[in-house]
Amino acid sequence: MTLPLPASALADQAPDGLFVETVTSVTHYTDRLFRFRTTRPGSFRFRSGEFAMIGLLAEGKPLYRAYSIASPAWADELEFFSIKVPDGPLTSRLQQIRPGDGLLLRKKATGTLVLDALTPGRRLYMFSTGTGIAPFASLIRDPQTYETFEEVILTHTCREVGELQYGFDVVRETLADPLVGDYARGKLRHYATVTREDYARRGRITDLMASGALFADLGVPPLDPTVDRGMICGSLAMLQDTRALLLAAGLSEGANSAPSTFVTERAFAE
């Protein structure tokens, strides 16, 4: 198996028309999850919440996957949050990257988990499971999120407690950040739950919504389409089940071309 190449070697071998970026830091959270950051090309533009195609050379050929950009649109570096799939064609290689290695980045970012795809409202829910937190890690670090909404509720559900750590780190960094901290303080709320280990809050977010526990815990009224907006990112099954609850509450699904009261996107899968 080919290992990641230093950025200069990758730049020599990469096809034209791509960015070749340099990895600046890598943090392994669990044996299934890691975060990494890269340099950002000066001309690479995106909206907070969008995804990009990133990749490596595998046996000499470029291999890409769609990854949500976890850093906000204003940041100097790009951040990504990834699973490690043991036999995954990309992630089995990507989990070996180290600072100084190169990463391929296609020139265009896109996606539906953007503020522009929602109609005006007061309270924004971001429902995530697993690596589905990545686009929200971008949006909670964007001051525009707090200019658009009075209250921002980030829910993150994982199988195990250790998988919640990235979310805790990003929320802490957000509140301490000189640029966005003042916007986020008093508005950003983090609701973390676990399904397969003992933890203070247990259960799938869908069950916690259906039982009313989520709203009781937060001290907010049940979902109301006149004030509440939603974004959902997780597995296909999680999207379906969460979507059904939002539809039942009277919200409707939107897109960039037709903004509405909630939007969905599948979390990274290999």
Which of 241, 243, 245, 264 is close enough to bind ligand A2P by CB under 6 A? Answer: 241
Which of 95, 145, 157, 174 is close enough to bind ligand A2P by CB under 6 A? Answer: 157
Q: Check residue 201 for interaction with ligand A2P (CB under 6 A).
A: no
Q: Check residue 206 for interaction with ligand A2P (CB under 6 A).
A: yes
Which of 118, 158, 192, 251 is close enough to bind ligand A2P by CB under 6 A? Answer: 158
Q: Check residue 255 for interaction with ligand A2P (CB under 6 A).
A: no
Task: With CB under 6 A as the rule, give the number of residues binding ligand A2P.
Answer: 15
Q: Which is nearer to ligand A2P, 48 or 206 (CB)?
A: 206
Q: Check residue 159 for interaction with ligand A2P (CB under 6 A).
A: yes
Q: Check residue 204 for interaction with ligand A2P (CB under 6 A).
A: yes
Q: Check residue 237 for interaction with ligand A2P (CB under 6 A).
A: yes
Q: Which is nearer to ligand A2P, 28 or 196 (CB)?
A: 196
CB of 259 to ligand A2P, least distance (A): 25
Compute the distance between CA of residue 13 and CA of residue 16 in angstroms, rounded to an integer: 9
Q: Which positions touch ligand A2P (CB under 6 A)?
A: 129-130, 157-159, 195-196, 204-206, 234-235, 237-238, 241
